[in-house]
């Protein structure tokens, strides 16, 4: 039993990372209806920026803040320069543009920093908290806390600030948002900036676990897609719950189902995506749109 | 509160011209009804006034040119447009919809919420409800309330009666009249239901295929039997 719970704890730790990237995916999807395939690569790029600051001798937490700020500006820039021209184009066009962005960002990171892996400083102390027969690594606690804080801040932003209300209005009805005086273009850019910032958190959390290299987010993106699908692509809370469930499911499947084992566990998110799409397409927390005429 | 002057307004969608040189003046604090058959360009006229479609010519509010500005800029100038289909933020709550109406304003928002509840007491018990769950009449009231939250200088109403029960429509026009009297808001209302619109308006214009074919006081137009039969679809 203790062994099982131990696996669950490990799963929650990795799940929290998936949750943070899923949260970024969900943010952009809610605002613009775009599934941003480049979200993971943007997060990887942000992690490199943080690494660059630490390599220059800047203390870790300050590097993180700087990287988040750069990511925010970068996300807005991506929306203005790359997404804006295809705004209103068919979905397929926009999807292909984000796939192109994926390849571009990946190659750019390789060109700037090479494809050799880099050691990324772990912000959390080593060691673990021992409760009963279980041990919870401080880094797991740290990751869970960070994701919790991000989630809380987003909730406050959306539910309790005027700018958050404006953002929700834009996602609900852009035409009406314009008519009440909201600058819709800037609000969409703000959404991308915000998503890039949330994604950056996930990149910085992943980097110390997987080592920093341009392809590190590829797998994480698949898990994040599974998390967002499971939770509901339009639900931030769903993204977090979905991320945790996917993390636990993956860990348990890898540990206990011998047929799967550590090699095949990447199949777990795919099975989850397929299962959700068949059984409950709107996800656990997503809204199937029902309206009175 | 403000005078609207439209001069030689042309507007349309892509290559299709809908308005062919519309000119009209709405005096400060007046209600102006735009009547006419389907496809006459009534909705396009309102959209041009609120910046939702591009236009050529001139649209001035107290002398300031409105044409060429995007809708969000016009909202900041005090133009409130209740669009066709009401434009409700369906997933947001009733209260959030109302607060969005005052998005560009900084002070007095709480007082104005109370003011809206006195006009529309039916909305008050539903503040926390998703706006999409309201009935059609309630949604139309919400849309009007949202527009009033801007404290508009110019209020544009597109077919407020559409899809509503006659009793609800009458109540709605009653409120439009009350708002206009109490706050001296200049109103342009587009309506299929000519009888109702002429009941509240001081002046009216009949639009046909993008041109004004008849203008006059609401009373004159109501009295003109030929107009009534050919454009307004009822006998006096």
The tens digit of pLDDT for each residue in B208-224 reads 899 998 898 988 888 87
3-state secondary structure chain A: CHHHHHHHHHHHHHHHHHHHHHHHHHHHHHHHCCCCCCHHHHHHHHHHHHHHHHHCCCCHHHHHHHHHHHHHHHHHHHHHHHHHHHCCCCHHHHHHHHHHHHHHHHHHHHHHHCCCCECCCCCCCCCEEEECCEEEEHHHHHHHHHHHHHHHHHHHHHHHCHHHHHHHHHHHCHHHHHHCCCCHHHHHHHHHHHHHHHHHHHHHHHHHHHCECCCCHHHHHHHHHHHHHHHCCCCHHHHHHHHHHHHHHHHHHHHHCCCCHHHHCCHHHHHHHHHHHHHCCCCCCCCCCCCCC
CB pairs under 8 A between A and B: 77
Spatial contact of B148 and B119, defined as CB atoms under 8 Å apart: yes
| pLDDT (mean) for B172-181 | 91
Spatial contact of B9 and B23, defined as CB atoms under 8 Å apart: yes
Q: How far apart, in whole angstroms, are the C-alpha atoms of residue A73 and residue B67?
A: 33
Give me the residues of B, 117-136, that contact A with CB < 8 A. 132-136
Would you say residue A245 lies in a domain?
no
Q: How far apart, in whole angstroms, are the C-alpha atoms of residue B197 and residue B185?
A: 16
Residue B12 has phi, psi (to 5 degrees) of -175, -170
Q: Which two tokens stand for residue B76?
A: 């900041």
Domain count, chain B: 1
Spell out which residues of chain B touch residue A181, defining contact as CB-CB under 8 Å. 72, 75-76, 103-104, 150
Residue A123 has pLDDT above 50, yes or no: yes
Residue A290 has pLDDT above 60, yes or no: no
| pLDDT (mean) for A111-139 | 88
Place of tokens 């027969």: A133
Q: How far apart, in whole angstroms, are the C-alpha atoms of residue B105 and residue B150?
A: 7
Q: How far apart, in whole angstroms, are the C-alpha atoms of residue A21 and residue B39?
A: 49
- Count Cβ atoms within 10 A of the Cβ of residue B20 and give its class: 0-12 exposed, 13-18 middle, 19 or more buried: middle
The reported pLDDT for the residue numbered A180 is 95
Place of tokens 């209260």: B95
Distance from CA of A131 to the nearest CA of B (A): 43
Residue A17 has pLDDT above 50, yes or no: yes
| pLDDT (mean) for B71-80 | 95
| pLDDT (mean) for B16-29 | 93
Q: Which chain A residue's Cα is nearest to B97?
A: A169
What DSSP element (H or E) covers B27?
A: none
Would you say residue A72 lies in a domain?
yes
Which of A175, A291, A292 is opposite residue B87, by nearest beta carbon?
A: A175
* ipTM of model over 0.85: yes
Q: Which two tokens stand for residue B165?
A: 């029960």
Mark A42-65 as b/e (b = at least 16 C-beta within 10 Å): bbbbbbbbbbbbbeeebeeeebbe
Sheet holding B79-82, edge to edge: B79-82, B154-158, B186-190, B31-35, B203-208, B211-217
Q: How far apart, in whole angstroms, are the C-alpha atoms of residue A35 and residue A228?
A: 10
Q: Does B182 reach chain A within 8 Å, measured CB to CB?
A: no
Residue A72 has pLDDT above 90, yes or no: yes
**pTM attached to this predicted model:** 0.87
Closest-CA residue to A268 (of A282, A283, A255, A284): A255
Q: How far apart, in whole angstroms, are the C-alpha atoms of residue B119 and residue B26?
A: 24
Q: Domain limits at A99?
A: 13-217
Q: Which chain B residue's Cα is nearest to A234?
A: B91
Residue B225 has pLDDT above 70, yes or no: no
Which of A172, A175, A292 is opposite residue B92, by nearest beta carbon?
A: A172
Q: How far apart, in whole angstroms, are the C-alpha atoms of residue A44 and residue A215?
A: 8
The reported pLDDT for the residue numbered A293 is 46
Domain count, chain A: 1
Residue A32 has pLDDT above 60, yes or no: yes
| pLDDT (mean) for A66-90 | 93
The reported pLDDT for the residue numbered A78 is 95
Label residue A45 by pLDDT band (50, 70, 90). Answer: very high
Label residue B234 by pLDDT band (50, 70, 90). Answer: low
Distance from CA of A272 to the nearest CA of B (A): 28
Q: Which chain A residue's Cα is nearest to B148?
A: A180
Would you say residue A271 lies in a domain?
no
The reported pLDDT for the residue numbered A288 is 67
Distance from CA of A169 to the nearest CA of B (A): 7
Name the percent of chain B lying above pLDDT 70: 94
CB contact under 8 A, B52 and A287: no
| pLDDT (mean) for B152-163 | 92
Q: Determine how β-strand B4-13 pairs with β-strand B79-82.
A: unpaired
Residue B235 has pLDDT above 60, yes or no: no
Q: Domain limits at B122?
A: 4-232
Distance from CA of A154 to the nearest CA of B (A): 17
CB contact under 8 A, B90 and A172: yes
Would you say residue A241 lies in a domain?
no
Q: What is the DSSP letter of B225?
A: H
User: Residues of A near B (CB-CB distance < 8 A)?
Assistant: 162, 165-166, 168-169, 172-173, 175-184, 287, 291-293
pLDDT tens-digit series, residues B95-149: 999 999 999 998 889 999 999 999 999 999 999 999 999 998 899 999 999 999 9
Q: Does B146 reach chain A within 8 Å, measured CB to CB?
A: yes
CB contact under 8 A, A168 and B92: yes
**Three-state secondary structure call for residue B188:** strand
Would you say residue A94 lies in a domain?
yes
Query: Ranked by mean pLDDT, which of A107-116, A253-262, A276-285, B12-21 comes out on top?
Result: A107-116
Helix axes A138-160, A2-32, angle to 10 degrees: 30
Q: How far apart, in whole angstroms, are the C-alpha atoms of residue A125 and residue A13?
A: 15
Label residue B230 by pLDDT band (50, 70, 90). Answer: low
Q: How far apart, in whole angstroms, are the C-alpha atoms of residue A160 and residue B113?
A: 17
Write the DSSP assignment of B37-100 as a string of letters. -TTSSHHHHHHHHTTSS-EEEEEEETTEE-TT--HHHHHHTTEEEE-TTTT--TTSBHHHHHHH
Label residue B232 by pLDDT band (50, 70, 90). Answer: low
Distance from CA of A173 to the nearest CA of B (A): 6
Q: Does B43 reach chain A within 8 Å, measured CB to CB?
A: no
The reported pLDDT for the residue numbered B231 is 66
| pLDDT (mean) for B67-92 | 93
Which of A173, A183, A293 is opposite residue B72, by nearest beta carbon?
A: A183
**CATH code for the domain of B72:** 3.40.50.300
**Three-state secondary structure call for residue B29:** coil
Which of B50, B100, B132 is opposite residue A291, by nearest beta carbon?
A: B132
CB contact under 8 A, A169 and B146: no
Q: Kindly report the average pLDDT of chain A as a whole number.
A: 89
Q: Determine how β-strand B203-208 pairs with β-strand B31-35.
A: parallel
Q: Which two tokens stand for residue B90?
A: 């369906």
Any residues with CB less than 8 A from the CB of A254 and at least 6 apart, and which? A260, A261, A262, A265, A268
CA B113 to centroid of chain Cα atoms: 20
The reported pLDDT for the residue numbered A233 is 85
CB contact under 8 A, B100 and A177: yes
Label residue B4 by pLDDT band (50, 70, 90). Answer: very high
CB contact under 8 A, B150 and A181: yes
| pLDDT (mean) for B156-171 | 89
Please give the C-alpha separations between residue A91 and each of A32, A232, B184, in angstroms, as whole numbers. 11, 19, 46
Label residue A93 by pLDDT band (50, 70, 90). Answer: very high
Q: How far apart, in whole angstroms, are the C-alpha atoms of residue B233 and residue B195?
A: 10
The reported pLDDT for the residue numbered B236 is 41
CB contact under 8 A, A173 and B71: no
């Amino acid at each position: 039993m203790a062994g099982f719970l131990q696996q669950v704890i490990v799963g929650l730790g990795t799940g929290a990372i998936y949750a943070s990237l899923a949260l970024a995916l969900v943010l952009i999807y809610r605002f613009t209806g775009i599934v941003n395939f480049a979200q993971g690569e943007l997060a990887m790029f942000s992690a490199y920026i943080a690494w660059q600051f630490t390599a220059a001798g800047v203390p870790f937490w300050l590097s993180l803040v700087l990287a988040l700020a750069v990511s925010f500006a970068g996300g807005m820039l991506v929306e203005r320069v790359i997404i804006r021209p295809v705004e209103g184009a068919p979905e397929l066009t926009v999807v292909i543009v984000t796939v192109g962005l994926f390849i571009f960002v990946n190659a750019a990171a390789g060109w700037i920093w090479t494809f050799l892996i880099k050691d990324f400083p772990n912000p959390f102390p080593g060691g673990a908290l021992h409760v009963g027969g279980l041990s919870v690594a401080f880094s797991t606690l740290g990751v869970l806390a960070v994701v919790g804080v991000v989630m809380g801040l987003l909730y406050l932003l959306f539910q309790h600030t005027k700018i958050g209300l404006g953002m929700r209005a834009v996602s609900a009805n852009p035409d009406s948002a314009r008519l009440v005086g909201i600058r819709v273009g800037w609000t969409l850019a703000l959404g991308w900036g915000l998503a890039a910032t949330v994604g950056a958190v996930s990149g910085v959390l992943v980097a110390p676990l997987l080592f920093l290299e341009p392809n590190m987010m590829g797998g994480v993106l698949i898990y994040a897609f599974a998390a967002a699908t499971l939770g509901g692509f339009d639900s931030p809370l769903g993204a977090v719950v979905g991320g945790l469930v996917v993390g636990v499911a993956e860990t348990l499947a890898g540990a206990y189902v011998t047929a799967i084992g550590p090699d095949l566990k990447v199949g777990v998110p795919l099975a989850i995506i397929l299962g959700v799409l068949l059984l409950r397409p709107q996800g656990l927390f997503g809204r199937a749109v029902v309206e009175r005429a | 509160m403000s005078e609207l002057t439209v001069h030689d307004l042309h507007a349309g969608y892509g290559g299709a011209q809908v308005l062919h040189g519309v000119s009209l003046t709405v005096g400060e604090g007046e209600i102006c009804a735009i009547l006419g058959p389907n496809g006459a360009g009534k909705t396009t006229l309102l959209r041009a006034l609120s910046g939702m479609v591009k236009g050529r010519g001139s649209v001035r509010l107290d002398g300031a040119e409105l044409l060429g500005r995007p809708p969000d800029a016009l909202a900041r100038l005090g133009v409130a447009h209740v669009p066709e289909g009401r434009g409700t933020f369906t997933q947001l709550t009733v209260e959030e919809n109302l607060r969005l109406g005052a998005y560009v304003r900084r002070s007095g928002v709480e007082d104005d919420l109370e003011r809206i509840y006195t006009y529309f007491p039916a909305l008050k018990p539903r503040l926390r409800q998703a706006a999409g769950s309201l009935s059609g009449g309630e949604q139309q009231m919400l849309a009007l309330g949202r527009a009033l939250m801007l404290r508009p200088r110019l209020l544009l109403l597109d077919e407020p009666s559409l899809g509503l029960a006659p009793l609800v429509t009458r109540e709605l026009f009653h409120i439009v009249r009350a708002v206009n009297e109490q706050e001296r808001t200049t109103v342009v209302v587009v309506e299929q239901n000519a009888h109702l619109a002429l009941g509240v308006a001081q002046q009216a214009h009949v639009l046909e295929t993008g041109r004004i074919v008849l203008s006059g006081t609401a009373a004159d137009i109501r009295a003109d039997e030929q107009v009534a039969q050919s454009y307004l679809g009822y006998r006096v």
